[in-house]
A and B are shown apart, each in its own frame.
Chain A
Amino acid sequence: MNKSLSWLVWVAVALLGASAFGGIALSRGESVNALWFVTAAVCVQALAYRFYAAWVAAKVLCVDETRATPAERLNNGHDFVPTNKWVVFGHHFAAIAGPGPLVGPTLAAQFGYLPGTLWILIGGVLGGAVQDMVTLFFSTRRNGRSLGQMARDELGPIGGVAALVATFLIMVILIAVLGLVVVNAMKNSPWATSTVAATIPIAMIVGLYMYKLRPGRVMDGSLLGVALLLLAVAGGGWIDQQPVLREWFNHPGLPLAWAVIGYGFAAAILPVWLLLAPRDYLSTYMKLGTVILLAIAIVLLHPEVKMPALTRFVDGSGPIFGGALFPFVFITIACGAISGFHSLIASGTTPKLISNERDIRMIGYGGMLLESFVAIMAMVAATVLDPGVFFAINSPAGVVGKEAADAVAKISSWGFPVTVEQMNLLAQQMGEATLFARTGGAPSLAVGMASIFGSAFGHGMLAMWYHFAIMFEAIFILTTLDAGTRVGRFMLQDMLGNVWPKLGETSWYPSVLLTSGIVVAAWGYFLYVGVIDPNGGINILWPLFGISNQILAAIALCVATGILVKSGKLRYAWVTGAPLAWLVIITSTAVWEKVASDDPRIGFLAAARGLADKLTAGTLPPEKAAVAPQLIFNQQLDAALAVFFVALLWLIVVDMLRICARHLANKPVPPLAEAPHEMTRLEEAWQRD
């Protein structure tokens, strides 16, 4: 009886999901309610979690709940600790959830709401969540070894080096693009700049509180910090009203970029307890709080989505970034559907905390589903805006023109009507001088979130909500920037330590300064060029970031597929092999187009050629001619980088296929590095939730 009831419920979920999905996909002409997006996402994810993930865990991975996990066997009281599954889930989700799933869907909304939404749901349940879960599982079976170590053990030295190099490069590109998002949100906005600047001393106050005043009291320290952050949002509004004070924080992009670069260097060499650790506590609370608030607001308010299902820009002529729907929607969404970066977390701290293998489905697969859900909400927040407003905020001046009148004329000519008055009124409501050409996703997301929050909780405070949303994004972007620079430094010290052991000492100050400087210079370069680029820089950096992230995911799936084949599970190898094949196709196509396309809006080399021709012909305006040589060099560098990424990918794919072929031909391959089975003794002592 109970069983048939449960089947009935799941059939109902499937029907509801199918009708929500169909409603979104087939609706033409009239607007769709955002509630359908939430319904479709919840139903699809629930079904995938209940059936597909359960099947993968039971049949493909053969999760064994009697087996002792590394947390139990190697329990040392600090990094290996058997932990309650909700606590591990919380830590894992806080670690994987960053700004990527907020920015990607916002940018991909230029194709319309449909392509991005479909990929977030389908890519998430069949690709991203599978990647996170299998990586977590294989790392748990290998005493929590990292992706790079697993690649080396299971595939050989080539795989290990490829994973290491890819991780380092993706970090550099990631930090640059996130820095650019923050700079574009702060430029010429005293309110946003002063609020973001205030987060630095606030983090330090919290750090001093947690370390000096009341050691280890992270909860009250975090609460104090959150209160101060809210005060900083209001305080920024006050500063914006002061004629003298506001000029201190009123800067164009370039000085702000230098400030971010200087900050990144300082944050990397300061002790973690002073800035990075307390900032992370704050950003985690802000992130969870805001995401929950946004979900409640969307359900309460159920706004109408105004963006069409598909826009004319599916042909590749989009203003925010160039490139056709295939493959660029997949590259742009990136983190919300499949994120290679997660494999680093899933093979880092998380496997050392898991107390029982049966929690892996909830933590690995479930954590990614929640991340995809955040991406769906970002998509909703971007598409409830009038499309004209969305494009006016996100189109760079280099594409639509510097003057407001030119920009609205151009955007309206695409069939997305918008007026200067409308944009001025919106800017005024949001407490900004202008919202034109704020490329990068953060401002349009903030406008979307502010209008949703405003309608759900009162319209009077739109400007406060807007700057709250900007602060919320900036605080965890800056956390990623600090943490990424630090990790990049450790990786560099590790590599340089092979050449000169002294450089490998993580506490030797000259080495710390040198390697931090190199890492900051690497991402600072891309940030600098992104800021001086009149086309906004996002159109170059975001695809490059998406490509590198998807390539890291492909490396993780290569390792997983290799392990599956070597464990005699060839017939299940498609579980990771199919998403892998898809990633190889989209990244290779994207790199091909980014390098070989004749369209200067898409191809790096075509853009470099076009600019060089104009420079020699003398047709560029003087301010553009001054930066043209740097932009030309950068486009060529980006082309080389893209080719290098895809070469790395093919190298590891071929290496994996070679290992699989050798295994199937009964030739010797590196043995499975799985730790031997040991019975768990935790069950009776461990109080399960």
Chain B
Amino acid sequence: MAARLRQFWRVLRQLSGGDAYERYLAHHAACHPGETPLPHREWFQRREQQKWGGIRRCC
């Protein structure tokens, strides 16, 4: 039960984008070791800017 709830919480955080920065850090650590990752605020701003550069919402 607890495991189920944790899984649900994980999916919920992924859905809402709540864990996106953690995933960025994990990806950064795995693929670009040695480089400093962007701080949370800069990363968030850049991501939002990029996200709305294309068609993301419809009729």
Q: How far is the CA of A272 from the CA of B15 in the complex (A)?
A: 20
Q: B49 near A: Cβ within 8 Å?
A: yes
Contact of A86 among B11, B24, B31, B47 (CB under 8 A): B11
Q: How far is the CA of A91 from the CA of B16 in the complex (A)?
A: 9
Nearest B residue to A214 via CB reads B40
Establish whether residues A490 and B14, one from each chain, have CB atoms under 8 Å apart when the complex forms.
no
Q: A276 near B: Cβ within 8 Å?
A: yes
Establish whether residues A95 and B23, one from each chain, have CB atoms under 8 Å apart when the complex forms.
no
Establish whether residues A222 and B16, one from each chain, have CB atoms under 8 Å apart when the complex forms.
yes
Q: B41 near A: Cβ within 8 Å?
A: yes
What 0/1 pattern do residues 29 to 54 of B give for CB contact below 8 A with A? 00100000000110111011111111
Chain A binding surface, main DSSP class:
helix
Nearest CB of A to B4, in Å: 11
Given the interface contacts A95-B56, A216-B40, A480-B59, does A87 sit within 8 Å of B50 by beta carbon? Answer: no
Contact of A95 among B49, B50, B58 (CB under 8 A): B58
**A residues within 8 A CB of B52?**
272, 276-277, 483, 486
Q: How far is the CA of A543 from the CA of B59 in the complex (A)?
A: 14
**A residues within 8 A CB of B55?**
167, 344-345, 348, 483, 487
Contact of B11 among A76, A84, A91, A98 (CB under 8 A): A84
Contact of B59 among A178, A218, A487 (CB under 8 A): A178
Establish whether residues A348 and B54, one from each chain, have CB atoms under 8 Å apart when the complex forms.
yes
Establish whether residues B50 and A79, one from each chain, have CB atoms under 8 Å apart when the complex forms.
yes
Nearest CB of A to B44, in Å: 4
Nearest A residue to B22 via CB reads A216
**A residues within 8 A CB of B45?**
211, 271, 273
Chain B binding surface, main DSSP class:
helix
Q: How far is the CA of A585 from the CA of B57 in the complex (A)?
A: 28
Interface centre among B7, B31, B54 (most CB of A within 10 A): B54
Nearest CB of B to A147, in Å: 10
Q: How far is the CA of A95 from the CA of B59 in the complex (A)?
A: 9
Nearest A residue to B21 via CB reads A216
Q: How far is the CA of A217 from the CA of B18 in the complex (A)?
A: 6
Q: Kindly identify, within residues 453 to 495 of chain A, every residue whose CB is under 8 Å from any CB belonging to chain B.
A: 476, 479-480, 483-484, 486-487, 490
Q: A123 near B: Cβ within 8 Å?
A: no
Nearest CB of A to B21, in Å: 5
Nearest CB of B to A526, in Å: 15
The total of chain A residues at the interface (CB under 8 A) is 58
Q: A341 near B: Cβ within 8 Å?
A: yes
Q: How far is the CA of A334 from the CA of B58 in the complex (A)?
A: 13
Q: A81 near B: Cβ within 8 Å?
A: yes
Establish whether residues B15 and A87, one from each chain, have CB atoms under 8 Å apart when the complex forms.
yes
Establish whether residues B58 and A211, one from each chain, have CB atoms under 8 Å apart when the complex forms.
no
**A residues within 8 A CB of B49?**
271-273
Q: A99 near B: Cβ within 8 Å?
A: yes
Nearest CB of B to A280, in Å: 7
Given the interface contacts A215-B44, A272-B48, A349-B54, does A339 sit within 8 Å of B11 by beta carbon? Answer: no
Establish whether residues A483 and B59, one from each chain, have CB atoms under 8 Å apart when the complex forms.
no
Establish whether residues A211 and B59, one from each chain, have CB atoms under 8 Å apart when the complex forms.
no
Q: How far is the CA of A348 from the CA of B54 in the complex (A)?
A: 8
Q: A583 near B: Cβ within 8 Å?
A: no
**B residues within 8 A CB of A480?**
57-59
Nearest CB of A to B3, in Å: 12
Q: How far is the CA of A95 from the CA of B53 in the complex (A)?
A: 14
Nearest CB of B to A83, in Å: 7
Q: How far is the CA of A331 from the CA of B28 in the complex (A)?
A: 48
Q: A483-B55, A483-B56 are in contact. List 16 more A-B contacts (CB 8 A).
A: A83-B14, A98-B58, A99-B59, A174-B59, A211-B45, A218-B16, A219-B18, A273-B48, A273-B49, A344-B58, A480-B57, A480-B58, A486-B52, A487-B54, A490-B54, A689-B11
Some 28 contacts from A to B, beta carbons below 8 A apart, are A75-B27, A76-B27, A77-B24, A77-B27, A77-B31, A78-B50, A81-B23, A87-B11, A90-B15, A99-B59, A210-B44, A211-B44, A218-B17, A271-B45, A271-B49, A272-B48, A273-B49, A277-B51, A277-B52, A280-B56, A335-B58, A335-B59, A341-B58, A344-B58, A348-B55, A483-B56, A506-B53, A549-B59
Q: A interface vs B, CB < 8 Å?
A: 75-79, 81, 83-84, 86-87, 90-91, 95-100, 167, 174, 178, 210-212, 215-219, 222, 271-273, 276-277, 280-281, 334-335, 339, 341-342, 344-345, 348-349, 476, 479-480, 483-484, 486-487, 490, 506, 545, 549, 689
Query: Which 7 A-B residue pairings sit nearest by Cβ, starting from the closest?
Result: A77-B27, A100-B59, A215-B41, A483-B57, A341-B58, A216-B44, A215-B40
